[in-house]
Amino acid sequence: MSEALPQRIVIVGAGHAGGEAAARLRGMGFAGDLTLIGEERHPPYQRPPLSKKYLSGELSLERLLLRPPELYAQESITLLLGERVIWIDRPVKRVRLSGGREIAYDALILASGAKPRRLPLPGSDKSGVFVLRTIDDVEAMRPLFHPGSRLCVIGAGYIGLEAAASARQLGLEVMVLESAARPLGRVTSPEVANFFLDLHTHHGVRFELGVHASAILGGTHVEGVQLADGSILPCDAVLIGVGVKPETDLAQQCGLAVEDGILTDGQCRTFDPRIYAIGDCARRPIPLLGRTARLESVHNAIEGAKIAAAAILDRPAPVLEAPWFWSDQYDAKLTIAGVLDGYDQLVLRGDPKDGAFAAFYFKDSVMLAVDAVNRPAEYLGSKQLLQRNESLAPDAIRDISQPFKAIMAQARVVPAKA
């Protein structure tokens, strides 16, 4: 297929993926019309610090932004903020904004991200009930984040626990409610989850595990959370952190295939060859996982942007990385390489009691993923092994008298999957 390269590229969604795609396209020499449309009023920014150093006040808004606002004009990127795309007219290749304006494209990138899930709890419209996804979400909760204020976090995932750690650092009283028997149930092993449970407990966070919130109580402002057993937990603020839902409505309405994410091929292309989808809203084949996945991460946002920009401009595809993630809570830096689902063996290197250890996950004796707490060598080394499709013998890993790099020398290439 040799078609003329596009002259007009429109990106829907000005988050990390959309912002990165715009920067990559210009960086690769694309000189045509480039329009970046975002619903938020802020230029593209990093979301990971929102629950960490931005919430705790250590990082300024300026440093949160991916690039200074003036850079967009300098690079002739039309940045339309506070604008919502309501329709994609695929036959004529135009997007329509809520105000009626239409913008033509030769290539369209959907980077619409995800929205926090809400809970259908009575009282969840009271003031003092928050989710955490945007700068504005953090700014809204800031007035209540002062010493002595009581925060109830519903959901013990990464966002909830990171916010709990930031809140403790700011002097709040924090309790975390979780319907499962342990925190981080969807994302890590019981061994790593218990480490974080102990860490937070040590820092004064109170946990209520295996409980269900049934209502948010109070007048116009939240005063407490009621549990299904009738007990009441008084608080001044509630943070709901129960995961996100990909923003796929527009794609679905416009006839693109959606299955927990907008479906794309390995080039981030939907079945409409002029439309790409990247970041939290998209699902693509991940060769290293041997399946499709919708990953919610900075790595995936950046990689999708690189893949789509290269595909649109007919350049060589980028080298793919093993999926990676991180979470900072107090002095614990958790770095993750790979995806652990379906693991049948866990090998610990180091002792969680020492505050630095790594959990290696295997399936059929092949390494799938690593959760490393304050263990950068195990994280980066394993990430490189996963990228090279190499694995380690589980027994070799336990020997902490050997540096991890020495153990890596024993890695073996994994036979290709049938």
| Identified binder of another protein from the candidate list 32, 57, 68, 273, rule CB under 8 A | 68
339 is a site residue for another protein (CB under 8 A): no
Residues 264-303 vs another protein: string with x where CB under 8 A? ----------------------------------xx--x-
Distances (CA, A) of 34 to 11, 214, 343, 346, 367: 8, 47, 43, 47, 42
d(CA 44, CA 219): 36
> To the nearest whole angstrom, how small is the minimum distance from the Cβ of residue 68 to another protein?
5
Residues 269, 137 contacting (CB under 8 angstroms): no
Calculate Rg over the CA atoms of the chain. Answer: 22
| Identified binder of another protein from the candidate list 182, 326, 330, 389, rule CB under 8 A | 326
> To the nearest whole angstrom, how small is the minimum distance from the Cβ of residue 377 to another protein?
5
| Identified binder of another protein from the candidate list 170, 217, 313, 380, rule CB under 8 A | 380
319 is a site residue for another protein (CB under 8 A): yes
> To the nearest whole angstrom, how small is the minimum distance from the Cβ of residue 328 to another protein?
7
What number of helices (H) and strands (E) belong to the chain?
Answer: 11, 28
Q: What angle in degrees, to the nearest 10, is found between the helix axes of 158-169 and 190-202?
A: 20
Q: Which is nearer to another protein, 209 or 396 (CB)?
A: 396
Q: Which is nearer to another protein, 104 or 380 (CB)?
A: 380
Nearest Cα neighbor of 378 from 396, 395, 397 is 397
The three-state DSSP-derived secondary structure of 117-144 is CCCCCCCCCCECEECCCCHHHHHHHHHH
Maximum Cα–Cα distance for the chain, whole Å? 66
| Identified binder of another protein from the candidate list 8, 33, 46, 115, rule CB under 8 A | 46
Distance of CA 152 to the CA centre of its chain: 22
321 is a site residue for another protein (CB under 8 A): yes
Apex 139 CA angle, 212 and 238, nearest 5: 15
Query: With CB under 8 A, what is the number of residues at the site for another protein?
Result: 29
44 is a site residue for another protein (CB under 8 A): no
d(CA 97, CA 88): 9
Q: Where are the beta strands (DSSP E) in 354-398?
A: 357-363, 366-373, 390-391
Span interacting with another protein, options 3-11, 149-157, 191-199, 370-378, rule CB under 8 A: 370-378
In the range 169-228, which residues lie near another protein by CB under 8 A? none
> To the nearest whole angstrom, how small is the minimum distance from the Cβ of residue 46 to another protein?
5
> To the nearest whole angstrom, how small is the minimum distance from the Cβ of residue 325 to another protein?
8
State the residues that interact with another protein by CB under 8 A. 23, 27, 46, 48-49, 63, 65-68, 71, 75, 298-299, 302, 319, 321, 324, 326, 328, 333, 335, 374, 376-377, 380-381, 384, 405
